[in-house]
Amino acid sequence: MSGAESGPEPVVEVADVDFGFGERPVLADVSLTVDPGAFLGLVGPNGSGKTTLVELLLGLRRPDTGTVTLFGEPAHEFDDGERVGYVAQHATAAAGRMPVTVREAVAMGRYPHRLVGRFSAADRRAIDDALDRVDVADLADRRVGNLSGGQRQRVFIARALAAEADLLVLDEPTVGVDAESRERFYDLLHELNDEGLTIVLIEHDIGVVTTHASEIACLNRELYFHGDPETFVETNALADAYGTNQAPVHHGH
């Protein structure tokens, strides 16, 4: 009998996954694991299968072959939704049509925790703490549709924090957000990850990913690389995946 102790259960485990839309293959033999506390940056060219992979790991789609588990359960059967905060692609644009205040939007994160009736004191405290944590408490009574793109993104993060999510998944969250707001947004993600929140991020800016993520998965239908940023920048994975002479660039602070 071995004396070695098993490590913590992976948050996400993708094993030998193939997926296609009809006759069009999208993912081929993809395997990767996301451990608790990881900050995974998912990169690859447009149409490489990144969003599809995220939808698979969230259980929104099922693989044609292979398996996907989320917190140890088949992803498509996972129903503990408050453990996952998901900001879909173009969410900030859709948020412009939300007829709710910032506080009301963040309060949605407490719905799975709330008993029948009004929010409890613990619910209200969680909402206030989330607003403070992402620095939007002063916007609590403003309509989400009247905020900037960067402010809306912080509201989405606050909603996930109010839900006490263990995993935050973001699909190109800063499209259309100005450079200064983007930098503050990624600094916030870095802080939340340091505090133990597991993050999966799709991002087109390779420099942002190599600067902030603790590990990188480079995808174009198949997985070209999965490992730490330092090793990634020394490989040809990016050029191979993009089919060009791409080179990662670190953003300085």
> How many other C-beta atoms are found inside a 10 Å radius of the C-beta of residue 141?
9
What pLDDT is recorded for position 110?
A: 87
Domain boundaries, the chain: 8-79+214-245, 82-166+174-199
Q: What is the pLDDT along the chain (253 residues), one digit of tens a residue?
A: 444 456 789 999 999 999 999 989 999 999 999 999 999 999 999 999 999 999 999 999 999 999 999 999 999 999 887 899 888 876 656 666 678 999 999 998 888 766 566 788 889 999 999 999 888 999 999 999 888 888 888 898 899 899 889 999 999 887 777 788 888 888 889 999 999 999 999 988 898 899 999 999 999 999 999 999 999 999 999 899 988 655 555 555 4
Decide if 35 contacts 8 (C-beta within 8 A). yes
Same fold, 8-79+214-245 and 82-166+174-199: yes
Which of 56, 39, 81, 83 is CA-nearest to residue 214? 39
Check if CATH label 3.40.50.300 holds for domain 82-166+174-199.
yes
What pLDDT is recorded for position 226?
A: 97
Check if CATH label 3.40.50.300 holds for domain 8-79+214-245.
yes
What pLDDT is recorded for position 2?
A: 45
What pLDDT is recorded for position 65?
A: 97
Decide if 118 contacts 124 (C-beta within 8 A). no
What pLDDT is recorded for position 6?
A: 61
